[in-house]
Structure 1
């Protein structure tokens, strides 16, 4: 993940600065502040600021004046109760602001989560960097034959090499044309250059952009439940997994509850529960007798099947 010298200088200056405060801080997250966590080939996630911690969730639920005197185990028990029963507002009392560098196509998928404050690098005012996401061979897959949104088997051999070469060549060619259209600095005195807001349309979607993304803990968990899921697209999942590690450092008790009751849990419909109760009572039940569609039946059976060891 290449950072420019000015980027490094800015990050080190931010990390060196300290400010006395009466607000709650989290030492494990303080240690991560401003540091860039690498994602993909040129991307990163870094924590810029945050507000609140596990105690803030408890404080909001109890509407207390201070951090309280109850045992940590009691506080964690309350957090788990709140998560288990889908209470949301106590988790909205915590907020985090992230600086993210990501490919444009990932950003367009990410922005569908309309529960955050976002400010993106503007190619109307600034020139985009010559940086593109090129998948590793391990993530270069064919279209799935059974899932319109998913990937199938890996591309191999000459086909994989050809695809990677086209991705690189197209990104480089379009960026070269972008630079020529801009004519920054009057490289060609005979031309005025196209406006930045127009020239940017020629960039490929694997070009990297950056933004600040601020959200509360409740909506962060919702984002992670979808994007850190094994079924999510690999590229956005890589960012979600980095953010999940940040959440573990920031609000460990809340994150444990989230991973138990959301990430690692399964939701059964009323019809699924009725079929399951019949099965537990010893009644033979198949898909046709369950009242479930084939897909619902398959999903329930998958949730009940122990994971394969290793």
Structure 2
């Protein structure tokens, strides 16, 4: 993830000029502020700004003055109660603004989360860089036989190299034509807003993505999940680390009650109770469909 000298100088200047403030400060988040964290081959995530911390969640829940902190133990207990009972509003009092550099096809998945403010780099006004996402060999996989949305076995040998060569050659050829259409050398040159249509979905774009903590956690629950596509999961995993440093009590509660929790339907709960009572349960007698039964067995054996 190469940064230009100008970009690095701007980041260095931002981090070298701290300012006195009366607002809530998270020491963990201060360490991330402005720092570009690399993702994939050319991507990045960096925190541009944030508001609030664990105490702000408790302050909002209690509608109190000052920091709202009774004690660390009391605050953690309150946050866990809020998370456990799906009281989401206090978590909306914290916000964060990310600068993200990501492939266009990942951005199209990401934008499905419509509960954020987004401002994307415009290829109508600027010329995109010649930067494309090319998967690492261990991420080149065949279509899954069980999951229409997922990957199966990793490609190997000549086939993997052939796919990588095609991806690279097609991306470079498209960008060559993009430059040729834009060029005003001996011609008028095509407008940027039209020339961009020929660019591939693995070219990198950038945006500012501002979101409150409640909706960020919802994004992370879906995109940091093992079933999410690897490329967007790489961003979500990094953002989990940042969020853990920002609001550790809230993130730990989120991990316990959302990410690592198990959800049961009414049929699943009844089947579990019957099993604990010593009854032999089958899919046919459980009231669950075949897929739900497989998921039930994966958790409960």
Residue of structure 1 in register with 2:100 after alignment:
100
Residue of structure 2 in register with 1:302 after alignment:
298
Residue of structure 1 in register with 2:228 after alignment:
232
Residue of structure 1 in register with 2:148 after alignment:
148
CA distance in 1, matches of 2:299, 2:55: 33
> What secondary structure is seen at the aligned counterpart in 1 of 2:205?
strand
CA distance in 1, matches of 2:77, 2:115: 27
Is structure 2 residue 14 aligned with structure 1 residue 14?
yes
Runs of 4+ in 1 over 4 A off after TM superposition: none
> What secondary structure is seen at the aligned counterpart in 2 of 1:59?
helix
Residue of structure 1 in register with 2:202 after alignment:
206
CA distance in 1, matches of 2:187, 2:254: 57
CA distance in 2, matches of 1:304, 1:74: 33
Residue-by-residue CA offset, 1:235-272 (whole Å, 9 max, x unaligned): 00000001000000100000000000000001100111
Is structure 2 residue 283 aligned with structure 1 residue 287?
yes
Paired residues for 1:13-92 under 5 Å: 13-92=13-92
CA distance in 2, matches of 1:166, 1:69: 57
Residue-by-residue CA offset, 1:41-83 (whole Å, 9 max, x unaligned): 0000000000000000001111101123522011000000000
CA distance in 2, matches of 1:284, 1:303: 17
CA distance in 1, matches of 2:289, 2:46: 44
For this pair of structures, how many residues does the alignment match?
301
> What secondary structure is seen at the aligned counterpart in 1 of 2:142?
strand
**Is there any run of 5+ residues in structure 1 with no aligned partner, and where?**
306-310
Residue 107 of structure 1 and its aligned partner are, at CA, apart by: 0.2
CA distance in 2, matches of 1:125, 1:69: 48
CA distance in 1, matches of 2:299, 2:62: 35
CA distance in 2, matches of 1:258, 1:88: 11
Residue of structure 2 in register with 1:260 after alignment:
256
CA distance in 2, matches of 1:166, 1:150: 21
CA distance in 1, matches of 2:155, 2:121: 34
**Is there any run of 5+ residues in structure 2 with no aligned partner, and where?**
none
CA RMSD of aligned residues (A): 0.8
Is structure 2 residue 261 aligned with structure 1 residue 275?
no
CA distance in 1, matches of 2:69, 2:265: 40
> What secondary structure is seen at the aligned counterpart in 2 of 1:11?
helix
TM-score normalised to structure 1 length: 0.96
